[in-house]
Structure 1
Amino acid sequence: MPLTIDENNLKNGVLTLVVTLVEVIQEALEGQALRRIEGGDLTADEQERLGQALLDLDEALESIKADHGLGASVADLRRGLDDVVGDVVDRLVNPVLGVDPEGGGLPRAAT
């Protein structure tokens, strides 16, 4: 059976993944920037340049999403990633949420 690949869907899928990952990295950078600003580690000039760089990155990401119609797909992927990360964090914070009823011994989220 031949494998058929829709090149446009593949390109949009890869671009969606890349934009989503850059957004996640951007969020981490913003958190680190706030910690450095609040800690007094940056001069006023460094704060200004960092803030402008983060704004420029945000504008570029929004432009890419608009140009390629990726807003909804990026938002969907972010929600999915947020759910996965939330589950992992829950299990790390409280590893005894329950035992797998199949006997695997791995913690599972309580329902």
Structure 2
Amino acid sequence: MVSRTPFGPSTAPPDEEDRMPHGDGARRLETDPDTVERDLMKLVLTLVELLRQLMERTALHRVDEGDLTEQQEERIGMTLMILHERMTELCDRYDLTMDDLDLDLGPLGSLLSHNDA
């Protein structure tokens, strides 16, 4: 009998599947229908926040180098400020904090910087 798992088909009978040992590397995908939307939004917001921080660092570097006009600096600053406000609004809507968006990368540290408040 072939049953389906979240990772694809399994050839073990369903009762045998429940008794199969799960080592450190083998984890079952657990999904809760009630939190799928929130979890997806958390992933999307994490990526958007990472990109926002990268854009901010690039903009600051360009300002330091003198590559931008005063008008461009103001426009980029306003855009980044609005994006940060929208991020905060979406986090509030999905009951998330900016700390919830961070990922622990083990020995590499955290994904997102916490320099901006």
TM range (shorter): 0.5 to 0.7
Stretches of structure 1 lacking an aligned partner (at least 5 in a row)? 88-111
Q: Secondary structure at the match of 2:35?
A: helix
- Matched AA of 1:65: C
The percentage of counterpart residues that share the same residue type is: 31
Which residue does 2:72 correspond to in 1?
46
Structure 1 position 78 matched with structure 2 position 102? yes
Tell me which protein shows more helix as a share of its residues. 1
Cα pair distance change 1:53/1:84, threshold 3 Å: farther
Length-normalised TM-score, structure 2? 0.62
Asked if 1 retains the 8 angstrom alpha-carbon contact of 2:62 and 2:68, the reply is: yes
1:8 counterpart residue number: 34
TM-score (normalised: structure 1): 0.65
The change in CA–CA distance for 1:59 and 1:84 in structure 2 (over 3 A counts) is farther
C-alpha distance in 2 between matches for 1:45 and 1:12 = 38
List per-residue Cα deviations over 1:12-44 (Å, max 9, x = no partner): 111001111111111111110000001010000
Instruction: Give yes or no for contact 2:52–2:80 (8 Å, CA) kept in 1.
Output: yes
Distance in 1 between the 2:31 and 2:109 partners? 33
Aligned-residue CA RMSD (Å): 2.5
How many residue pairs end up in the alignment? 84
* 53 and 77 in structure 1: CA distance in 2 versus 1, 3 angstrom threshold: closer
